[in-house]
């Protein structure tokens, strides 16, 4: 029997019961993959992070991420949560190299006013060509969005910084917050397009935040994710790739704020930074905060 410390952390917020909840198992060495999956199912967050000791000198820690139903390669809000807990427990700041199923990625921890900011460098940006018209129409139908509500400058396309999402840009925040998608249809489509997340967003170039969004991933067991690091990082790559926010770029960089979770009353936000070379995204970072909701122990 071993005692494992488990935390419930709200990421991308400093207010409990807001932002995106993630489980964190700080000392996960010794847990089997089946036990990790069982703990993730029991906590029933969209993702739970399991922190493991390194097996190589090439990285500092290993982190595995599980939804209630499956393991996923990377998770933004659970990464923020995991490193926030490590910082609280150890007081260490600086750069940490974490091994994930999406590769070895740096995370930077800085201290501010006796608290911590977490900067996650995401995986290699990849943006695909627009989805074919029949598939795009089926996605819009499943989401309950009419073609006239779409932004003309935002093609429906898959983007990824480690965990792919479909990008769907619409014109109106009222529509965004009233969406009631057909989750079964979205799950069926996910199996066909090999992408389990749909990020619907609006853009307001005249104020902060630039982005308001909602993210649905029923095929991964997540009807709606409150505040999604992987979706917003991928959105940053997408905005640069399709030159949608080129007038906001400065010195080969695009930086913007997002707000998500408003429709389900778990509002939170983050900042997204995209480095650009030859008009293409080369590196994406998300910056967020977190707060501990509760801590417990389990003996297995």
Known catalytic residues are 47
CA atoms of 37 and 27, how far apart (whole Å): 15
CA end-to-end span of the chain, whole Å?
A: 5
Q: State whether the Cα torsion 222-224-229-234 is positive or negative.
A: positive
- Dig out the tokens for 169 from the structure: 């840009």
CA atoms of 14 and 20, how far apart (whole Å): 11
39-51: b (≥16 Cβ within 10 Å) or e: bbeebebbbbbbb
CA atoms of 91 and 93, how far apart (whole Å): 7
How far, in Å, are 71, 184, 232, 266, 290 from residue 78 at the CA level? 13, 26, 14, 16, 10
- Dig out the tokens for 173 from the structure: 């925040």
In total, the chain counts a number of residues equal to 300
Burial of 127 (0-12, 13-18, 19+ CB in 10 A): buried
CA atoms of 75 and 228, how far apart (whole Å): 8
């Amino acid at each position: 029997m071993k005692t494992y410390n488990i935390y419930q952390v709200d990421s991308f917020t400093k207010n409990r019961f807001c932002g995106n909840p993630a489980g964190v198992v700080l000392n996960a060495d010794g847990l089997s993959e089946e036990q990790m999956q069982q703990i993730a199912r029991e906590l029933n967050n969209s993702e739970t992070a399991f922190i493991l000791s390194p097996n190589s000198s090439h990285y500092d820690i290993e982190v595995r991420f599980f939804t209630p139903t499956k393991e996923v390669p990377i998770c933004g809000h659970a990464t923020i949560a995991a490193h926030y807990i490590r910082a609280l427990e150890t007081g260490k700041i600086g750069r940490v190299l974490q091994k994930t199923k999406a590769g070895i990625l740096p995370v930077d921890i800085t201290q501010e006013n006796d608290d911590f900011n977490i900067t996650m460098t995401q995986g290699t940006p990849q943006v695909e060509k627009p989805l074919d018209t029949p598939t795009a129409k089926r996605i819009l139908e499943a989401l309950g969005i009419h073609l006239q509500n779409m932004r003309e400058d935002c093609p429906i396309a898959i983007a990824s910084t480690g965990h792919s999402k479909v990008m769907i840009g619409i014109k109106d925040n009222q529509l965004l917050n009233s969406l009631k998608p057909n989750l079964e249809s979205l799950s069926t489509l996910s199996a066909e397009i090999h992408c389990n997340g749909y990020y619907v967003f609006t853009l307001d170039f005249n104020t902060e935040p630039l982005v308001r969004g909602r993210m649905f991933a029923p095929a991964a067991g997540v009807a709606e994710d409150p505040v999604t690091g992987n979706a917003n990082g991928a959105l940053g790559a997408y905005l640069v790739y399709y030159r949608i926010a080129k007038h906001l770029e400065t010195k080969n960089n695009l930086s913007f704020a997002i707000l998500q979770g408003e429709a389900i009353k778990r509002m939170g936000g983050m900042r997204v930074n995209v480095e650009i070379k030859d008009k293409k995204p080369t590196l994406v970072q998300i910056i967020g905060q977190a707060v501990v909701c509760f801590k417990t122990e389990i003996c297995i």
